[in-house]
């Protein structure tokens, strides 16, 4: 009696249904009234009479003790009478369904369409997964499409689905039922968690800073784009001097120092402000600062933001984003490579900041060497680039043994020492400067040649080949305007020179995202400990939809690591804002224990401990490393002393500043000597390769392991 109405029509439902349509459906129902509904009255609608004489899928499944999917499949294969009502719903006539369900053989026929799960079979047969898979394969069945009619009687299974269901209920362990209940609970908790996260994300988005301000029409952003050595910074500083007040914002203390000295030497009064110190100059209206110290509310007439590619830096990029988007200065200058142009323009558009592009050409042309150099044949005025501190120090030793005079520049070297080393090279007192990629960050270090000693670097997670942007940024230091006809980019072997040629020929990728960091107000909205708040803030990525294509969250790993070292009670005692400031301290893995000692004393209300003493004098590489560590700890002390909430615990800041200066001089003096900085295995004393990243040699490592 299956209706000629197509079952596929179940998917559709007309807006308006005529009585004639319901009358045709009534003809398909028969005369038998369902036992579970009252007898329809003569004046009831035809639709009500249809419902009294037929079952929906859900009602029929309950009556037959089978699943809805089994009933639908039986209807598709015409094993059961069914029709689609005018509303597009599949229904089963009571006149045929009730007798079918009452007959055990016919009810078993319907149950034959039940799909079975593998875990249900395993439970009833008490068979492990491997044997179950083999048995199914031998029977020519698919584990994803097993129906009861194909399994009935196999492997000692019951002959009826009712018996199978009963045995399944009897043999299913309480533990399995508990697991199912737990899974259901887990899914419910997951739904609640997702809903809570959505609500929280929306609240954080509502709290996201509004960068479109009423003063934007009074501003002008000058975007200085060009390769290194193209006069970008020089032109921007001229504008700052003309404006008479404002800020120069740099990524490094070294660059802030450089501009501080330059402007004061030119008779333009300029303060210096870094995370660790403040040098006021009488009458100054201009401040050279590290970018994190920028006060947007006191921007002055002109603000310069240098090294704009740092917008994308995972750890510190938030400070560049904040400076660009929050500055209210009428005149703004941002300086960066061509890869930063598009990102800057999109950010400026998002904040409705009027802008103009200022393109700069290199002042001295640049070329690639036709042949590689060896350490013996390096010309004077060459920057030799390696990518580890130990690699730089090893190259210094080798070159000095060849009779060359050498300066060194690497990231963990104190800024004052880097400056003295760079000045000696710039003034011609040393022939070669061996440097890490720190040399690419705006350091005023003119050279005729930039020569790559290696073309791979460890980026904190993996050893990888240099990116084209890195080759452009570092290699661009070659060429001294007014002193060299051109700059030369080279390498120390044939293979590396080919790699450098290929990378330099490629167009560097444009920057994709600027970074933002959380405020204490943001974290107040998030439940949990400080570490959990930071982690969830990063995970939620609560950026307004209009900015998600160009803004992402900063890397919170170091802050989370520090936050985990503080208890919830300690964070409550500090207050969330002070705790967030504390975990923003300039730490690295080696200085975390000293930072924790400082935090403990702050919580107890005592003076924080002095940095560890440095060895004096410096005799070898171990002494050099210990002195660098002492200076890194002193930087934490001085950084804390510059924060209003912690300054009272840092009364010895002047003593620490003086000791740090002496330690820096000690390093500089040691580097002037032919200092033996070769690394030796902590276990056996064997000399280790410069690129070896561990404290023991491979031989000792394998002997311990095996």
Three-state SS string over 392-443 comes to HHHHHHHHHHCCCCEEEECCCCCHHHHHHHHHHHHCCCCCEEEECHHHHCCC
CA–CA gap between residue 89 and residue 8 (Å, rounded): 10
In this predicted model, what pLDDT tens digit does every residue of 299-317 receive, in sequence order? Answer: 899 999 999 999 999 999 9
CA 576, 581, 586, 591: dihedral to nearest 10 degrees? -40
Please give the DSSP secondary-structure letter assigned to residue 696.
Answer: S
Grade residue 14 by pLDDT with cuts at 50, 70 and 90.
very low
Q: Give the pLDDT of residue 5.
A: 35
Q: Give the pLDDT of residue 580.
A: 96
Residue 85: CA count within 13 A, CB half-sphere: 22
Q: Give the pLDDT of residue 2.
A: 45
CA–CA gap between residue 386 and residue 398 (Å, rounded): 13
Question: Domain residue spans in the chain?
Answer: 7-111, 118-172, 216-357, 366-505
CA–CA gap between residue 447 and residue 468 (Å, rounded): 20
CA–CA gap between residue 113 and residue 328 (Å, rounded): 72
In this predicted model, what pLDDT tens digit does every residue of 247-284 receive, in sequence order? Answer: 999 998 888 988 999 999 999 999 999 988 899 999 99
CA–CA gap between residue 93 and residue 649 (Å, rounded): 86
Exposed e or buried b per residue across 196-223, where buried means at least 16 C-beta atoms within 10 angstroms of its C-beta: eeeebbeebeeeeeebeeeeeeebebbb
Grade residue 705 by pLDDT with cuts at 50, 70 and 90.
low
CA–CA gap between residue 75 and residue 2 (Å, rounded): 8
In this predicted model, what pLDDT tens digit does every residue of 487-525 receive, in sequence order? Answer: 899 999 999 999 999 999 998 889 989 999 999 999 999
Query: pLDDT over 90 for what percent of the chain?
Result: 46
Please check whether residue 95 is in contact with residue 104, taking contact to mean a CB–CB distance below 8 angstroms.
Answer: no
User: 3-class DSSP state for residue 37?
Assistant: coil
CA angle 377, 380, 382 (to 5 degrees): 90
What CATH number was assigned to the domain covering residues 366-505?
A: 3.40.50.300
Q: Which of 442-456, 605-619, 645-659 has the lowest mean pLDDT?
A: 442-456
Q: Give the pLDDT of residue 179.
A: 66
Please check whether residue 225 is in contact with residue 341, taking contact to mean a CB–CB distance below 8 angstroms.
Answer: yes
Q: Which residues contact 377 (CB under 8 A, 6 or more apart)?
A: none
CA–CA gap between residue 263 and residue 265 (Å, rounded): 5
Please check whether residue 410 is in contact with residue 383, taking contact to mean a CB–CB distance below 8 angstroms.
Answer: no
Strand partners, 280: none
CA–CA gap between residue 444 and residue 62 (Å, rounded): 82
In this predicted model, what pLDDT tens digit does every residue of 527-580 receive, in sequence order? Answer: 999 999 999 999 988 898 888 889 999 999 999 999 999 999 999 999 999 999
Q: Which of 23-27, 205-209, 264-268, 684-688 has the lowest mean pLDDT?
A: 684-688
Helices (H), 65-117: 68-76, 94-102, 104-111
Instruction: Note the pTM of the prediction, 2 decimals.
Output: 0.70
Q: Which of 78-87, 606-615, 656-665 has the lowest mean pLDDT?
A: 78-87
In this predicted model, what pLDDT tens digit does every residue of 367-421 receive, in sequence order? Answer: 999 999 999 999 999 999 998 888 888 899 999 999 999 999 887 788 888 888 8
Q: Where are the beta strands (DSSP E) in 205-330?
A: 220-225, 246-250, 270-273, 278-279, 286-290, 302-305
- Closest CA relative to residue 670, chosen from 706, 622, 704: 622
Q: What φ, ψ does residue 261 adopt, rounded to 5°? A: -65, -45
Is the pLDDT assigned to residue 93 strictly greater than 50? yes
Q: Give the pLDDT of residue 172.
A: 59
Asked, colleague to colleague, whether 216-357 and 366-505 share their fold, the answer is yes
Q: Give the pLDDT of residue 691.
A: 57
Please check whether residue 410 is in contact with residue 427, taking contact to mean a CB–CB distance below 8 angstroms.
Answer: no
Mean pLDDT of the 34-54 span = 85
CA–CA gap between residue 160 and residue 642 (Å, rounded): 81
Is the pLDDT assigned to residue 184 strictly greater than 80? no
CA angle 652, 658, 663 (to 5 degrees): 120
Query: pLDDT over 70 for what percent of the chain?
Result: 92
Q: What is the chain's mean pLDDT, rounded?
A: 86
In this predicted model, what pLDDT tens digit does every residue of 187-219 receive, in sequence order? Answer: 778 888 888 888 988 998 888 888 888 888 899
Mean pLDDT of the 636-649 span = 95
In this predicted model, what pLDDT tens digit does every residue of 226-242 receive, in sequence order? Answer: 988 788 999 999 999 99
Q: Give the pLDDT of residue 13.
A: 41
Is the pLDDT assigned to residue 596 strictly greater than 80? yes
What CATH number was assigned to the domain covering residues 216-357?
A: 3.40.50.300
- Closest CA relative to residue 408, chosen from 397, 394, 422, 398: 422
Is the pLDDT assigned to residue 613 strictly greater than 70? yes
First-residue to last-residue Cα distance in the chain: 78
């Amino acid at each position: 009696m299956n209706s000629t109405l197509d079952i596929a029509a179940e998917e559709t439902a007309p807006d308006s249904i005529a009585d004639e349509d319901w009358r045709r459906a009534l003809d398909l129902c028969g005369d038998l009234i369902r036992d579970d509904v009252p007898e329809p009255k003569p004046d009831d609608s035809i639709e009500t009479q249809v419902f009294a004489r037929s079952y929906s899928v859900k009602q029929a499944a309950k009556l037959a003790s089978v699943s809805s999917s089994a009933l639908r499949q039986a209807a598709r294969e015409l094993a059961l009478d069914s029709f689609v009502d005018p509303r597009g719903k599949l229904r089963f006539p009571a006149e045929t369904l009730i007798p079918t369900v009452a007959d055990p053989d016919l009810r078993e026929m319907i149950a034959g369409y039940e799909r079975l799960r593998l875990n249900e079979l395993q439970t009833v047969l008490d068979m492990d997964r491997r044997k179950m898979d083999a048995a199914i394969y031998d029977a020519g069945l698919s584990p994803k499409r097993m129906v009861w009619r194909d399994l009935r009687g196999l492997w000692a299974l019951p002959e009826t689905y009712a018996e199978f269901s009963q045995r399944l209920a009897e043999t299913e362990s309480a533990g399995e039922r508990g697991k199912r209940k737990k899974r259901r609970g887990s899914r419910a908790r997951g739904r609640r968690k997702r809903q809570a996260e959505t609500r929280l994300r929306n609240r954080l988005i509502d709290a996201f800073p509004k960068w479109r301000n009423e003063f934007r029409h009074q501003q002008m952003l000058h975007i200085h784009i060009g390769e290194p050595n193209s006069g970008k910074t020089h032109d921007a500083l001229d504008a700052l001097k003309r404006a008479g007040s404002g800020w120069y914002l740099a990524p490094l203390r070294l660059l802030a120092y450089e501009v501080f000295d330059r402007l004061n030497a030119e008779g333009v009064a300029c303060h210096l402000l870094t995370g660790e110190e403040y040098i006021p100059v009488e009458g100054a209206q201009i401040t050279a600062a590290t970018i994190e110290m920028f006060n947007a509310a006191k921007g002055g007439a002109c603000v310069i933001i240098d090294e704009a590619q740092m917008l994308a830096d995972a750890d510190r990029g938030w400070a560049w984003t904040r400076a660009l988007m929050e500055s209210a200065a009428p005149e703004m200058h941002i300086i960066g490579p061509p890869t930063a142009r598009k990102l800057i323009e999109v950010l400026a558009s998002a904040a409705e900041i009027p802008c103009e592009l200022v393109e700069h050409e290199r002042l001295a042309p640049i070329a690639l060497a036709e042949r590689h150099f060896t350490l013996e044949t390096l010309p004077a005025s060459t920057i030799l680039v390696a990518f580890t501190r130990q690699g730089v120090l090893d190259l210094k030793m080798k070159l000095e043994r060849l009779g060359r005079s050498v300066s060194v520049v690497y990231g963990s070297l104190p800024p004052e020492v880097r400056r003295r080393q760079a000045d000696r090279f710039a003034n011609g007192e040393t022939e070669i400067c061996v440097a890490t990629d720190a040399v690419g960050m705006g350091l005023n270090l003119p050279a005729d040649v930039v020569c790559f000693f290696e073309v791979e670097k460890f980026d904190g997670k993996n050893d990888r080949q240099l990116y084209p942007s890195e080759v452009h940024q570092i290699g661009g230091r070659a060429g001294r305007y007014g002193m060299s006809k051109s700059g030369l980019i080279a390498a120390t072997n044939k293979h590396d020179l080919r790699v450098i040629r290929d990378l330099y020929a490629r167009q560097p990728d444009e920057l994709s995202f600027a970074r933002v960091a959380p405020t204490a107000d943001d974290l107040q909205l998030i439940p949990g400990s400080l570490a959990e708040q930071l982690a969830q803030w990063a995970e939620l990525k609560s950026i307004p939809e209009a900015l998600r294509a160009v803004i992402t969250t900063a890397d919170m790993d170091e802050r989370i690591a520090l936050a985990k070292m503080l208890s919830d009670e300690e964070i409550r005692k500090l207050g969330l804002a002070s705790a967030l400031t504390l975990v923003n301290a300039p730490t690295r893995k080696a200085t975390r224990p000293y930072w924790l000692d400082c935090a403990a004393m702050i919580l107890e209300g005592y003076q924080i401990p002095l940095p560890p003493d440095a060895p004096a004098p410096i005799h070898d590489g171990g002494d050099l490393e210990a002195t660098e560590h002492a200076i890194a700890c002193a930087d934490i002390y001085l950084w804390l002393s510059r924060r209003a909430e912690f300054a009272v615990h840092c009364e010895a800041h002047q003593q620490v500043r003086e000791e740090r200066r002496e330690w820096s001089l000690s390093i500089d003096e040691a580097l002037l000597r032919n200092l033996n900085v070769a690394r030796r295995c902590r276990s056996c004393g064997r000399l280790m390769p410069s690129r070896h990243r561990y404290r023991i040699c491979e031989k000792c490592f394998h002997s311990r392991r095996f």
